């Protein structure tokens, strides 16, 4: 749920909220199946 919410925030140009949700994904489950994508997106949001 947090992953998809993060993507929605990213698409609606709300980077702070997107970052918050994507960070929550990794906090809840560091081995999430799309963890590599989450980390990539977080890196892009931070730059």
The structural domains of the chain, with segments of one domain joined by +, span 2-46
Structural tokens at position 10: 């990213």
Q: What is the pLDDT of residue 47?
A: 83
Instruction: Please list, in sequence order, all residues whose beta carbon lies within 8 angstroms of the beta carbon of residue 2, skipping any fewer than 6 positions away.
Output: 21, 22, 24, 25, 28
Percent of the residues in the chain that have a pLDDT greater than 70, as a whole number: 100
Structural tokens at position 43: 């890196």
Structural tokens at position 18: 């997107």
Report the distance separating Cα 37 and Cα 8, nearest Å. Answer: 15
Report the distance separating Cα 21 and Cα 42, nearest Å. Answer: 10
Q: What is the pLDDT of residue 19?
A: 98
């Amino acid at each position: 749920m947090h992953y998809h919410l993060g993507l929605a925030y990213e698409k609606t140009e709300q980077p702070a909220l997107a970052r918050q949700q994507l960070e929550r994904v990794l906090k809840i489950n560091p081995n999430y199946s799309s963890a590599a994508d989450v980390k990539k997106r977080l890196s892009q949001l931070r730059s």
